[in-house]
Structure 1
């Protein structure tokens, strides 16, 4: 798959994050339970993932049991994201919530890349990247002034 295809898929995923947040926050408000909305979201996500798993011809593997246990904390992080955005977006505003999520993603991604954490390819924090993160932080600040 060419790099441009990867970029397009990630762009689509990025477009989907605020939509996911808005839909789940609205569901949580409508049914009166952000936690129940999050549970439903995970049930749908699990069903979709399972379908892709079987349609794609993937086979269960014993290497899952051998994987370092800390890698499974990603599940805790996705639950934290979904629960927090579902609770907070209706009160804080979807745009505000997503702006701060994006800022957190930039900071975290820069640190992970800089130190090569979790097996990531090392990409040292350059002045340009640091400047971009600072500009983003300033942009988040500007959004809070209005």
Structure 2
């Protein structure tokens, strides 16, 4: 896969995320519950990921594979639920652009820390001046989007 195509896919995933937040927010209003809206979102995602996992890999992970995994590796869904729950609560109050801008700024700051320290086995990518400036610009962008 070429770098340009990878960039395009990442961009498309970002647009998809905004779409998800908008429909989750709409469902929240329609069923009067951010928690059930989040559940529906995760249920739909679970069904799609199961279908893709079965189609792409063809077999379930073995008990040996599962036994070698770390406990922290199983917590991704918890952090995803926090992410989705907070998004569903805030999009109607702050607007999609502000919430997404703040989420992206938070992701960037967190990503810089994870990269810099190589957390959870990520390759180390030191925080450099250009990377830090980029993060500051994202924070400023989040502030400007809200004005």
TM-score normalised over the length of structure 1: 0.93
Distance 2:8 2:34 in 1: 31
Cα offset for 1:26? 0.7
Structure 1 unmatched runs, 5+:
none
Distance 1:55 1:143 in 2: 41
Distance 1:94 1:127 in 2: 30
Map of 1:106 onto structure 2: 108
Cα offset for 1:82? 0.9
Map of 1:58 onto structure 2: 58
Say whether residues 1:73 and 2:75 are aligned partners: yes
Cα offset for 1:19? 1.1
Structure 2 unmatched runs, 5+:
none
Helix, strand or coil for the counterpart of 1:56?
helix
Choose the corresponding residue for 1:97, options 88, 96, 99. Answer: 99
Distance 1:56 1:71 in 2: 21
Equivalent residue pairs, number:
145
Map of 2:3 onto structure 1: 3
Distance 2:3 2:94 in 1: 36
TM-score normalised over the length of structure 2: 0.92
How far does the alpha carbon of each residue in 1:9-44 deviate from its partner, in whole angstroms, 9 at most, with x for none?
211111111111111011111111111111111111
How far does the alpha carbon of each residue in 1:93-116 deviate from its partner, in whole angstroms, 9 at most, with x for none?
111111110100110111111111
The two structures, once aligned, show a CA RMSD in angstroms of 1.3
Say whether residues 1:35 and 2:35 are aligned partners: yes
